[in-house]
Every structure is written in structure tokens, then in C-alpha cells.
Structure 1
Amino acid sequence: MKALYSYSIASNIILLSFLIIIFASHVKASSSSSIDNFLECLPSYSNSSSFPISNSVYTRNNPSFLNVLQSYIRDSRFNTSSTPKPLAIVAALDVTHIQATVTCAKSNGLQIRIRSGGHDYEGFSYVANVPFIVLDMFNLRSIDIDIASETAWVQAGATIGELYYKIGKKSKIHGFPAGACFTLGIGGHFSGGGYGNMLRKYGLSIDNIIDAQVVDANGRILNRKSMGEDLFWAIRGGGGASFCVILSWKIKLVRVPRIVTRFDVPRTLEQGVTDIVLEWQQVSSIIDRNLFIRMQPMVYKYKQGGNSNKTIRVSFSGLYLGRAKSLVSLINKRFPLLKLQRHDVIEMSWVESTVSFFIGNGKPLEVLLQRTPSPPRLYGKHKSDFVKTPIPRSGLEKIWEKMIELETVFLQWNPYGGRMSEIQENSTAFPHREGNIFKMQYLTTWEDDSDEVMSRNLKGIRDLHAMFTPYVSRNPREAYLNYRDIDIGSN
């Protein structure tokens, strides 16, 4: 009986293995058939004589395929030999290429992943576990600025840096509220909300969008009027790729002073930073809306007397839409524990501040035109939270202790209030408005590609996120769409 039982198990294993091979072969054959049909379909729906669609298609047999794919992969976690690859990449050169891609993918059962800048934290814009193609928007990045009407049309493949640069070249008194990382693609950044260091003055990027052009699931080109207000509402904060392909946005430029003021001041535990953080939580969301102060706690290692030590160092990074003298006076009156001095601050133009806020002072404006981050090949994981009540001293002390234990996780706390508290939560598909004192991002990055290092870092950020549970929003615990986090779940 035992021998018969063993024989039965072995037979079942052989049969199961055979079925898996057959199924895999069927899927492979089906994928081959689908991609062949997809490629044959494309010319029928792209009628641009100036831009033949064949010039924008990269299949796996194309020698440039991997180079095009990897050019906009921002996280090395999703750039391994085992990472699922698209059957093809369509790097659209013309709007008709997008229409053809949507129509032909739909008719052949292929999923489309849409990529503009490649900063998707979980790689969703270029990874899928079903047969898929990547629709890459990086060639479509024109920016048309009209200072007279204080508006601009910006294509989805442009970066924030390119937009800032073009605005700065056109005007000294205009800007736009968007992110600090200037290699972000406009298409995805705006559709998920788009926030930056002017959100307390002017709200989010989506609060300053007045029109859009999209391609819907039927391959039609629509604008705000033809798509209707429901869809226009959804793509401003709800993530455009769920509904359509964003072609371009029409934005309303905002007024900025000719001179703004920047500062970055670090404080450590030994300098009483816990007290400063407690005060920051009380004032950062209700202070003058022209002032934005990001707080970034991280572990700082130093040597003293030949011994290695660790502490918490918090950087207070600010942008003030005004002059230095006024800023120092305001800070010392409303946020005195920071002890800001005149030599801590520097005046500059708004466009110069977009460089300063991300990579420091003294860099030429042309760095805004760089489309590839530096360093370009890191591994990382990100999470987010919204905080509605100040975290008490006891909570901060536990958090500092945990961060020192982990070493690898750092935080960004971005104050709300001001304009963000005035916009109704249902005015766009971005609901995180009044009642939040700050939004938090958790970050961990590493260079070592070993499984051990990856597991340790992923566990570390998840443990710290769990520790914050008593101090953040609940029922539900809110998260920011653009800070993709697969731990929350997937559809």
C-alpha cells in the first residue's frame, strides 16, 4: 500500500508538472500571437505620415529594447533579470501612436502600462504579471507657455524640471506649485495630486489645472468639455492611468515674488531637536501661508573621542515667498525654538529655489533639464501617512529610538494648512485637505543587491510604519496615491 501510495503521489506530480508546462507553453504561444496581432494592428490606426509608428515601437528583438526600458526605471528593485518585461514598448512620437496603442491593445487583450517619468515607487508604470506593453510618453514633452494669459499647455512626458526651467526663462514673477524632485514626469505627478513647497499658498498642482487632453479607452481624443466634469474630476488626484491616457495638461501659472528666501538648518538630539519638533507640529500648519518648512528626521553617525556614535538629526528645509529680513522676524516670533539667524537664509529667484530645494545652492539652472536622477540606480521602498494631531514627546522619543536601531529609514514631514484647508475635500479626487497638520513620507534606500540587505530594509520601514499607528490617521488610515505602496494591497 505504501509503495502504491508513493507511486500515486509521483504520478500526480509528473502530471501536474506536465500540465504546468502545457499551460506555460499555451500562455507563451498566446502572448506571441497577441503581440504579433498587436503589431500588425498598429499601422491601421496610426495615420501620421510624418511619424510612422514603426519608428516608435521596440520589441524584445530590438537591440535598443532594454536600453529604452531601463532608461526610465528609477528603482533597481524592478530592474532585475526576473522582473517581468513588456512584450513591446511604444515610445509614442505622435498622438495617433497613442490612439493606435490603446485600440490595438484592447482588441488583443494586452494590458497597457503608461509611463511618463518612471518614478512609480512600485514600478507599476512598467511592470505587470500579465502580458503587457509599455506606452512610454517621454518623447511627448512640449511646453507652451503664454504669459499674457498666465497659462501653459504641458505634455505628459515633460518633467517638472523642464516646466520650471521654461517658466523661469519666460518670467521672473511666475511659478507653478509642483514637486521638489525635478525628474518627475508631469503625466503621473499631476494625476496623483502633485504637491510641493508652495502647497500652503496655492494648493496642489491639480488645484491649478484648468483643462486637459486625454485619449480614452475607445481611442478618442477628449478635452475637459468633451470628457465631462466627472472624468475631469477623477484624473485630478485619482491617478489618470485608471481612466485614460493623459496627453497634456493646461495649467494656471501662479504669481511669485521676484525674490524668495531659502534655508536649510539641521538640529540634533543634543541640540534639543525634540522640543523643536514639538513646536514645529504646533505652528507649521498655521503659520503664514507664504512659508513652507519641511522637516526631515534621519540617523546621523559621527565620531567623538575615537568612538562611533549615532543620533537623530532633523533638517528644517524652508521656502518663504518673501525677503530674508521678514522671514527671520517671522520665524523668531512664531517658531522661536528653531533660532533661525540671518546667516542661515539666502535670497534667490523662485526658479533658483527649485534647484536649491532639491540639490542645494550654487547649481546652474540647466540641471533642471536633466531627465535622469543622480544616482540613478538605487533600491528603495516608500510609505506614507497623514497626521491630524501632534505626536507627543513620548511618541517622538520612541520613534527616535527605533530609527537609531534601524539606521536605514528616514522621514519627510510636509506641513499642510493654508490653502489646503480651504479647498473642499470633494473638489477633486484628492481628499486629504482640512484637518491634516502634515503629510509624512517614509523612505529607505540601499545599493547592495543582496536579498539579505533588501529584506532587512523592507522589514525596517514596515516596522517603523507599524510603530506610527497610534499617531496617524485612522478609520481609514490614509495614504498618498503617488507614494505607491504595494503593502496596502492591489487590484
Structure 2
Amino acid sequence: MSCSIAALVVSLFLSLNQIISCRAAGADDDGAARSLASCLISHGVTNFTLPTSRSYAGVLNSSISNLRFALPDVGKPAAVVLPGSRQDLQRSVLCARSSSLAVRVRSGGHSYEGLSYTSENRVPFVVIDVANLNRVRVDRGSATAWAEAGATLGELYHAVGRSGRSLAFSAGSCSTIGLGGTVSGGGFGLLSRRFGLAADNVLDAVLVDADGRALDRAAMGRDVFWAIRGGGGGSWGVVYAWKLRLVPVPRNVTVLSVGRTGPVELVAGLVHRWQLVAPSLPDDFYLSVYLPTGPSSLDGNVSVSFSGQVLGPKHRALSALRQSFPELGLAESELGEASWLDATAQFAGLDTAADLPNRQLGSRQYFKGKSDYVRSPISRRAMADIVRYLSTGPPRQGQGQGGGYVILDPYGGAMARIASGDTPFPHRAGTLYGVQYQVYWDEDGELGGRAAAAAGEFCVRWLRSLYAFMAPHVSKGPRAAYVNYLDLDLGANNWTAPAGGSSKAAVARARSSWGAAYFGDNFDRLVGAKTAVDPGNVFNNAQSIPPL
């Protein structure tokens, strides 16, 4: 991969005028698909599939992680294109434009609301899936890596870890998430309290814009380079590759996963104490909370888990945690040491580090997620009320095979030292921890049919009730959310055409709802960047940044 020669403006083998000549006269989906296919073939892009192809369903569904968006009533793309090179990617963008199709860009398929492979209002669209653009090149000498946007975190981690035990990258724990999406939204993970987000460690990028130009950091300009590092995916163009700063880690790190069960008051007390401890630990400590939903056990007890990683030996981790969090009653046997790569595989739920590059591992579910941020400690009494409320959630008897959980991620450390405007991700100083809520269910399970659908309705309804219940305890003005945990409950653009359609009113609606929640005071600068790089709103989705 020769990302280092990314041009300021790369000349294509075809011009936009040549591509436009491929446009079909028909305005229907079939006509648009035929137009797109003709254009792609005439310009040497052959790896694509249409709804009439046998491969179509398999390719489309291959990386849909949320089965809500694989159901028959969800609108399907006119084509899925899998470019194999930067030139293929540029040509794919231009052919999609010429065929009057909305463009959706998919990397790993983990969009919580399916925005990388669905469309609003049945607008005809094409999915440009960059999964085949997954090459990673590590340079140990400069502690950097060029990674194509279709690479998963697992593929990146595996390449970095194999280069030596002393380097790592700061991003999330799910190994099958694509780099194109997670970096675009920020990318919080176990190393973020020490080294910041994935987006904080981007040194350069190659962005293919709506005119098919391949732009590096200098060519795209300061504001656009700022915007693509935390401003959300699907708004700016297609990121072809990222140049990433790798970070130093010791030969071995400490890992822990500790479960505790007891009365509501005991568990609430542990979580209450955690929120006073975890955001203030040394930067190289990460300790999160996992709270399952659903009825308590027959004896009335509830459970909680604490998972963590420390960039140092076990004895240091044990000593610091026993001193700062004695209530946890941590035993030496509950800690272990491993290389950073092996620890990464463990947190991803994999058997070995060799499984990290496998894109197909893991089960797929129907799920719905939401998020919050906490800026002031929640009282112990309120925490007990929250733990009790969680016991009213799924699974419920007769409501199918479902469940749910709440994860609390500690901030502080480097996250608090990076200014809220340095990237579009604003949740920095003053944020104690992030909250992720999720419910999941199985509509293909033993109940089937209407009962299974009712299980999903119950899960989503209950999640929204939990979100309302949490309102007094989380951030306000605005109530903040994490863009990588997309939530259409916050609002949507409601586009009705493949491109264009923006206005001052559209910008105002977005700003006052999801825009403020995800980006705070950074939203208006994002609008400016969008207007500069994509004034025609070619790259859009239900929560993409609207241009002026």
C-alpha cells in the first residue's frame, strides 16, 4: 500500500464528464442499478453485486451486526460495491453519483442504527463497502502505521502486535469493528485514559471526496482533517486510509475481570465507590463496570462485574487498587499478566490472539443502544434505585431470549487533558464516565412470529424508559451522547433525495437535537467543514452533518 504518495489531487483515469455519459434515463431503482453497473464495468470496477445476483444477499448481510436491519422490510441498496484499490474507490464514488444514487459507506457494519447500509424514506442508494481495502503496514522505527479503512481493529491490532510487544494502538475492544467508522467517531478504548482516543492518534489520512479526488491532510485542509477525526462517519467522503500514531506499552500488562454478587445496597455501594475512584486512577489504569439487566436471583441478590487493564505488573496494580478501592476486596488470583496483544484478544472475547484478524467471529443479534455521560457523582441512594430499575429489564419470562446491560467507562487522565475542541469529540474535562445502554433479543428463537416481535418491542420500550429514568443523573444542556453509539431516538435528517436537500432549517434541526448531543459546541465548525468538502451533500445519512 503506497499511502505515503497520496496526492494532493489525484488524477483519475476517467473524468466526471466521461462517467456522466453512463447515466441511464430511468429514474427507478432498476434503472439506477443498470446505470451504475454499466459505469463500473466500463471503468474497470468489476467487484460488485446487484439484487439480481446470487451473491447479493450474502455480500449485503456479511457484516450487518444488528439484525434489525437485515429484516425483509428494510430497504435494500441498488448495489453493493467492494473496491479493491484506491482507484476503484474513486471510480465507485463517481459512478454512484452519476447514477443518481445516494452513497452509503460501510467499513465493518457495526453502525448501531445501520446507517452505513440503509437509507431514509426509501431513497435509492448504493453501498460502497471498503472491506477489501484492509491492508495494514506497520513502521516500527517511526512507531506509525498506515491502515486502510476497511481493516478491522482486530486486523490492525494483530499487525501491530506481531511487529513487537512494545507497540499498541488506542481504540476499542471489539475486534470486528472497521477502522473507517470507529476512528471517524472518536474510538474510545482501554488505552484512552493514557493515550486518548483513536482519533487523537491520527497523523494523516487519505480522503476520497465527492469529486473523486484523493486528498491527504494538506490537500483537504485543516478544518476537514479536523472533522474526519471524531465528526462521525458518512459525512465527508470515503476515508481510504489512516496514518496512525502507535503508542508504547510494557512487555506485559495486567488484566482483571472481577464479579461480585450481593444485595442491591452492596452492589450499589460498589458502583458508587467506583465512580469516585476510576476516573482519578493513574492514567495507565482502566477499570470499567458491567451491570446486567433482568430480575435478580431467587435470593434477591444482583450482580456486577469490574473489568480492567493496567499498563504495568500485577503487584503494582493490586497494591494501587487495594489502596484506592478496598471495598472491592480484590484478590491476587483475580489478576493476571499477558502481552498487550493477548490481553486485547481476551477483552474481545477471543480464545487467542490468532483469532483477531477473523472478521466473521461472534454472534449477531437484534439490538438497540443508547448512551450518556456523567459529570457529577451519582448519590449512593440514587445508585441503588438505578440498580433496582435494571432488575425490571429483559430478560422477562415469556418475552423470548433477550437481555441487556449497562457499561460504565471511566474517563479522566489524558481524556481530560485534551481540549474539547481539539477534535470534534467534545466529552473531555469534567466528564467522569460514559454510559452505554444496550438491549438485545432473538427474533429467530423458540417463540417465533408475533411473540418474538413482542420481545423486541418490550426490550426497546424498556430501554427508553431506563433512559428517561436516568435523566436526572446525567449530563444536561445538552444531554450528551457518543456518536459511535448512534441513536436515532435523538433525531434524524429525513433526507428525501440522494443528494442535496440541506438548508438553514435542516442545520438548525440537527444542531438542536443529535448535533448538540454528539458534538456540543463543535457542531457549527463541522457544518463549515461539510460545506467546504461536500457542499452538494453527496455523502449523507440520517445523522450526517448537513451543509449550508
TM-score by length of 2: 0.80
Greater strand proportion: 1
DSSP 3-state at the match of 1:409: strand
Higher-RCO chain (CA-CA 8 Å, sequence separation at least 6): 2
Residue of structure 1 in register with 2:280 after alignment: 286
Counterpart of 2:503 in structure 1 is none
Amino acid at match of 1:327: A
- 1-side partners of 2:330 and 2:103: how far apart? 50
Counterpart secondary structure, 1:285: helix
Q: Using the TM superposition, give the Cα deviation of residue 99 of structure 1 relative to its aligned residue in structure 2, in angstroms.
A: 1.2
What's 1:178 paired with? 171
Name the counterpart of 2:370: 383
Amino acid aligned to 1:219? G
User: Which residue identity is paired with 1:366?
Assistant: A
Q: CA deviation at 1:245?
A: 0.2
Cα distance in structure 2, aligned partners of 1:109 and 1:269: 59
Residue 342 of structure 2 is matched in structure 1 by: 352
- Look up the SS of the partner of 1:405 in the other structure: coil
Letter aligned with residue 314 of structure 2: A
Q: In 1, are the aligned partners of 2:40 and 2:95 still within 8 Å (CA)?
A: yes
Distance 1:28 1:337 in 2: 69
| Paired residues of 1:234 and 1:240 also in contact (CA < 8 A) | no
Deviation at 1:29, TM superposition (A): 5.3
Pair 462,311 (structure 1): closer, same or farther in 2 beyond 3 Å: farther
Between the two proteins, the alignment pairs up a number of residues equal to 451
Corresponding residue to 1:212 among 197, 205, 211: 205
1:301–1:309 Cα contact (<8 Å) kept: no
* 1:279-305, Cα deviation, whole Å (9 max, x unpaired): 1111111111110001011147676xx
Say which of 479, 484, 487 aligns to 1:485. Answer: 487
1:136 maps to which of 120, 124, 129: 129
Question: Within 2, Cα distance between the matches of 1:340 and 1:66?
Answer: 49
SS in 1 for 2:105: strand
Structure 1 residues 325 and 66: alpha-carbon distance in aligned structure 2, compared to 1, 3 A threshold? same
Which consecutive residues of structure 2, in runs of 5 or more, have no partner in the other structure? 1-24, 395-402, 445-451, 494-548
Offset from partner CA, 1:29-51 (integer Å, 9 cap, x none):
5322222222222245x4xxxxx
Deviation of 1:136 after TM superposition, in Å, equals 0.5
CA distance in 2, matches of 1:327, 1:436: 24
Q: 1:466 aligns with which of 465, 468, 477?
A: 468
User: Given the superposition, is the C-alpha separation of residues 87 and 300 from structure 1 closer, same or farther in structure 2, using an over 3 Å criterion?
Assistant: closer
CA–CA separation in structure 1 for the residues paired with 2:86 and 2:41: 13
Q: Provide, for residues 157-179 of structure 1, a one-character-per-residue CA deviation record: whole Å limited to 9, x for no partner.
A: 10001111111111111101011
Do the aligned partners of 1:73 and 1:79 also contact (CA within 8 Å) in 2? yes
Q: Is the 1:181–1:358 Cα contact (8 Å) retained in structure 2?
A: yes
1:402 to 374, 382, 389: 389
Aligned to 1:64: 55
Q: What residue number does 1:6 align with? A: none
Pair 1:124-2:115 in alignment: yes
Matched, 1:434 2:429: yes
Coordinate RMSD, CA, aligned = 1.6
- Partners of 1:217 and 1:371 in 2: how far apart? 29
Q: Distance in 2 between matches of 1:327 and 1:101?
A: 50
Q: Pick from 266, 272, 283: which aligns with 2:266?
A: 272
Q: Percent identity?
A: 38
1:431 deviation in Å? 0.9
Q: Which amino acid aligns with 2:271?
A: V
Q: What CA deviation, in whole Å up to 9, does each residue of 1:190-239 have, x standing for no partner?
A: 00001100110000001111000110011000100111111000000002
Task: Select which of 29, 41, 60 maps to 1:31.
Answer: 29
Letter in 2 for 1:239: G
Give the deviation of 1:373 after TM superposition: 3.8
Q: Match for 2:453 among 451, 459, 466?
A: 451
| Paired residue secondary structure (2:392) | helix
How much does 1:309 deviate?
A: 4.7
Out of 441-450 and 229-238, give the one that drifted further.
441-450
Q: 1:94 aligns with which of 70, 78, 85?
A: 85
Larger Rg: 1
Shift of 1:57: 1.3
Q: 2:141 aligns with which of 145, 148, 157?
A: 148
How far, CA to CA, are the matches of 1:33 and 1:309 in structure 2? 63
- Secondary structure (helix, strand or coil) at the match of 1:210 reads strand
2:45 pairs with 1:53: yes
